[in-house]
Structure 1
Amino acid sequence: MEEGLTAAKTLAEALPYIQIYDREIVLVKYGGHAMGDNETARKFAADVVLLKLVGLHPVVVHGGGPQISRMLDRAGVKSQFVDGLRVTDAETMEVAEMVLSGSVNKELAHLITAAGREADVRGVGLSGKDARLITCEKAIRTRKDPDSMIEQVVDLGFVGEPVDVDPTLIQALINAPEDYIPVVAPIGVAEDGKTYNINADTAAGAIAKALSAKRFLLLSDIPGVLDQNGDLIREMSVADARKLIDTGVATGGMIPKLETCIAALDQGVEAAVILDGRTPHVLLMELFTEHGAGTLIH
């Protein structure tokens, strides 16, 4: 009886939130570190299927940094990072596309299909190159020389920045009579036909903007945004996020996360959340409970 009452209470609490998100698009960025454990990945896939079954339209954009690093290590290629972005030469680009658009993308789409088999919910693996979903240009980054304090251009190689997202293919899958869940690898193509590796957070934010997503959820291997004392920030504004970057509190991979959240919110996404993808059912806690999870940016 107690277990039944607990389950009923949980459903009653979730109902208002299910109604709020009914038929709304929720963009989920699934981080490479959070994908490392098979059991965690299966639970994530089951939760995404549940979102679809209760009336939401989940779209998944995934990373794969650790998987790329492992493959590069096997090939004896050393990775370099600038502000959380991997410097990508031609050899690294070939490996990145093989891992992201190949093994990682198809495995995640398969897990979603397996989790949704009884209800006929199916994951569909895509790349940003498919149907020119993501058109990008070469990313430009600058750094101050510590001695002269002069801004210097850093060549990141085949790292791209989205300049246009055509959501037609994703919208077609969302609007299809069948229950499809798009799963997108962060690979883009430039106007000259060259292929670029895009930071998964950045690609996810660009797609969230193009789809006018109600929520943009970034799942990684961290509990959320931390302040200078290492404490979790539960909620912040765009101005607060910019301040964390300007003051150097945000470093490394947190910088592109915050930057892409800011850009998405500036373009009409209602709110973004950075949360820990290793936590069981974190998507459901964030969307369907009063207290949520991680750091909400509005």
Structure 2
Amino acid sequence: MSLLRSAVSAPGQADHQLAATRSTLVQLLGHIDSRRTAEQYLSHFTATTTAIQPFAVIKVGGAIIRDHLPTLASALAFFSRVGLYPVIVHGAGPQLNQILEHAGVEPRFADGIRVTDGKTLALARQLFLEENHRLVQALEALGVSARPLTAGVFQADYLDRTKYNLVGRINTVEKSPILSALRAACLPILTSMAETADGQVLSVNADLAASALARALQPTKVVYLAETGGLFHDQTGTRIARINLSEEYDHLMSQPWLRHGTRLKVRAAQELLSDLPSTSSVSIVHPMDLQREILAASGAGTVIERGTRISSITSAECTNLAKLEQVVRRQQGPDASFCVQEMRTRPFRVYYDDPSLESLAMVSFSTHGLPQLLTFPSLTARAAAEDMFLRITKDFPRLMWTVPETDPRLDWLSTRATGRFYHNGWVLLWYGLRQQEARQLILNLHDVEGSDLELGGGGTYRHASQGQ
């Protein structure tokens, strides 16, 4: 059933159905992922109908339309049914290469940019219209209202007419056709074609068109769909799950293993995010993982965020222990005494994102042979907390910590742990331990009778989902 079409004939009923669908989705996400996922959906993506704001710009390459159209259409249909309306811009590069070959036109490139003469542009324009129609048709077959926007959105100047001929650089994005589609509960489907002030059609790279759209619309998410499913470490072949630009950009760009194409993508993301809200992100993901990447921010792709720069000092470098104790007592409340005692008897490392040290995390270097996370800030600034935890686990790949069962941070911390153990109103959590190490850690407790070991299938510890 299409909620969007119901909205046309019965707005009140459709609003009720949409609210019910959103509520069901939040409950479902809470069961299959974590409260974090459900909260993110609520906080970022449930806008009122009176304040239309696109939550995401999604760039779709030609190969995705050619090879993954049913998967893409299904994901986009899901978003529309729960009241989420991304703006789609697509290319058709592989299809254009094939058409040019059949027409006997040899493609020419300069600096990686297709040199576009009149014949090439005419073929490209017709092709883009056809591919746009294919995507719109696939969505409408699923009961989704989609609106093709094939002209009148991108205005451009010639990039370099002598060198590239009919290739444009976008200078203006006309938002009104997009917002009109969103107000009508339609998915806007754009081609990466632009026009000059005097009406000349120009070809524009789809990645650059998506960036221009994002700068104009200021979405929470910018997603580039790719068959590779993300960015990869060129030496190890492992996927790069997340890039915190504030912490990692300079180091990453200096690495000799970073391929030229990957380097360009990271630099483009850094430049784009500098023009977007601090909470925005850029994702590179396969279309089959699009739903999870959008809603959970923990899918199978690569997420690039502006992030937070985390600083740290050791106890030997600390010049104001009294100030640290004050912060710990404020953060920990009644449970501060143990942390303060640890500070006075063991070496430790402090992590913070503000030189004033108004909130901090602290790790002592040895408890039961393991580093222990003694205190962690509140989750008021979740992105900063995420960056802080990632920095800690980079420095301490094996870690333990305890929190009361009533601690409001328990769900958040549990999803970042690799295991947990309930004991007398407290929860012992660990990160990076093998199963035997976790068993030994638990046995080191003086009294485990009456504890909840949370054994899963096969007699192994049930691990919490680990955050990316």
Alignment correspondent of 2:146: 123
Q: How much does 1:259 deviate?
A: 5.0
Contact 1:28 1:59 in 2 (8 A): yes
Contact 1:18 1:54 in 2 (8 A): no
1:267 and 2:267 are equivalent in the alignment = no
Taking structure 1 as reference, are residues 224 and 8 closer, same or farther at Cα in structure 2, changes over 3 Å only?
closer
1:167 and 2:175 are equivalent in the alignment = yes
Q: How much does 1:8 deviate?
A: 8.0
Q: How much does 1:82 deviate?
A: 3.9
Alignment correspondent of 1:233: 240
1:99 and 2:119 are equivalent in the alignment = no
Contact 2:30 2:38 in 1 (8 A): no
Higher RCO (CA < 8 A, seq sep 6+): 1
- 1:96-245 alignment, distance < 5 Å: 96-100=124-128, 102-115=129-142, 117=143, 121-127=144-150, 129-130=151-152, 133-140=153-160, 155-176=163-184, 179-229=185-235, 230-238=237-245, 244=253
Residues in 1 aligned to 2:255 and 2:177: alpha-carbon distance in whole angstroms: 37
Residues 112-135 of structure 1 show CA distances to partners (whole Å, capped at 9, x for unaligned) of: 1111x1xxx3111112x32xx111
- Between the aligned residues of both structures, percent identity stands at 25
Residues 165-194 of structure 1 show CA distances to partners (whole Å, capped at 9, x for unaligned) of: 111110111122xx2000000000112322
Aligned equivalent of 1:27, options 57, 61, 66: 57
Q: Is the deviation greater in 75-84 or in 237-246?
A: 237-246
Q: Is the deviation greater in 237-246 or in 51-60?
A: 237-246
Q: How much does 1:275 deviate?
A: 1.6
1:9 and 2:37 are equivalent in the alignment = no
1:276 and 2:289 are equivalent in the alignment = no
4+ residue runs over 6 A deviation: 245-248
Contact 1:32 1:220 in 2 (8 A): no
Q: List gaps (5 residues or longer) in structure 1.
A: 1-5, 141-152
Aligned equivalent of 1:59, options 87, 105, 110: 87
Taking structure 1 as reference, are residues 255 and 110 closer, same or farther at Cα in structure 2, changes over 3 Å only?
farther
Contact 1:276 1:294 in 2 (8 A): yes
1:249 and 2:258 are equivalent in the alignment = yes
Taking structure 1 as reference, are residues 283 and 182 closer, same or farther at Cα in structure 2, changes over 3 Å only?
same
Contact 2:121 2:202 in 1 (8 A): yes
Contact 1:17 1:288 in 2 (8 A): yes
Contact 1:22 1:54 in 2 (8 A): no
Alignment correspondent of 2:332: none
Pick the structure with greater CA Rg.
2
Alignment correspondent of 2:370: none
Q: List gaps (5 residues or longer) in structure 2.
A: 1-27, 48-53, 306-468
The secondary structure found in structure 1 opposite 2:187 is strand
Taking structure 1 as reference, are residues 272 and 111 closer, same or farther at Cα in structure 2, changes over 3 Å only?
same
Contact 1:201 1:256 in 2 (8 A): no
Say which structure is richer in strand: 1
Contact 1:135 1:189 in 2 (8 A): yes
Q: How much does 1:209 deviate?
A: 1.4
Report how many residues are paired. Answer: 266
Residues in 1 aligned to 2:63 and 2:302: alpha-carbon distance in whole angstroms: 18
